[in-house]
């Protein structure tokens, strides 16, 4: 799960057209980091995206998440002559899907990891652990 940090601030400071532009840029950047035909990025609500990396273990998923996070935080995005400061927070969960309910569990776990990333200062990629259930 990927969330654009402080998109509301971007909307308030630069306007909703710039916020929409920001969402489009993030979507394009996320797609650039998907390497296999089965990898998928999808918008998941206002400023959230879900990334699915089939047959990827936790270490690989975290590596991709960190590459994406770093690339976006280092990006130089300009819209209407305004530099748009962008960071994202990412929650990662990885497992083998073995039932129809399992995809929802993975989504819930990734969301908890995302919440952990946001609570610990944003602009981070966090992996789901049992301790995240305590948050």
**How many residues belong to the chain?**
135
Number of Cβ within a 10 Å radius of residue 98: 7
Average model confidence (pLDDT) across the chain: 91
pLDDT in tens, 72-96: 999 999 999 999 999 999 999 988 7
Asked if 56 and 62 touch (Cβ cutoff 8 Å), the reply is: no
Q: Give the domain ranges of the chain.
A: 2-134
For the domain made up of 2-134, give the CATH fold.
Alpha-Beta Plaits (3.30.70)
Mean pLDDT throughout 8-19?
Answer: 95
> Is residue 22 predicted with pLDDT exceeding 60?
yes
Asked if 89 and 124 touch (Cβ cutoff 8 Å), the reply is: yes
Q: What percent of the chain has pLDDT over 70?
A: 96
- Predicted TM-score (pTM) of this structure: 0.90
| Active site amino acids | 47
Mean pLDDT throughout 124-132?
Answer: 82
Report d(CA 86, CA 133) in Å as an integer.
Answer: 28
Angle at 21 between CA 17 and CA 23, to 5 degrees: 115
Query: Which ranges in 1-135 belong to alpha helices (H)?
Result: 7-14, 16-32, 58-73, 102-119
């Amino acid at each position: 799960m990927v969330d654009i940090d402080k998109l509301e601030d971007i909307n308030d400071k630069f306007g909703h057209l710039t916020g929409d532009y920001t969402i489009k840029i993030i979507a394009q950047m996320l797609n650039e980091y998907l390497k296999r035909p089965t990898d998928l990025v999808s918008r998941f609500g206002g400023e959230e995206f879900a990334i699915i990396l089939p047959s990827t273990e936790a270490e690989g998923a975290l590596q991709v998440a960190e590459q994406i996070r770093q690339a976006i935080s280092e990006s130089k995005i300009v819209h209407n002559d305004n530099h748009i400061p962008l960071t994202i927070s990412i929650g990662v969960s990885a497992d083998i899907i073995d039932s129809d309910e399992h995809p929802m569990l993975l989504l819930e776990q990734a969301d908890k990891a995302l919440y952990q990333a946001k609570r610990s200062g944003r602009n981070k990629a966090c992996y789901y652990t049992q301790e995240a259930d305590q948050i």
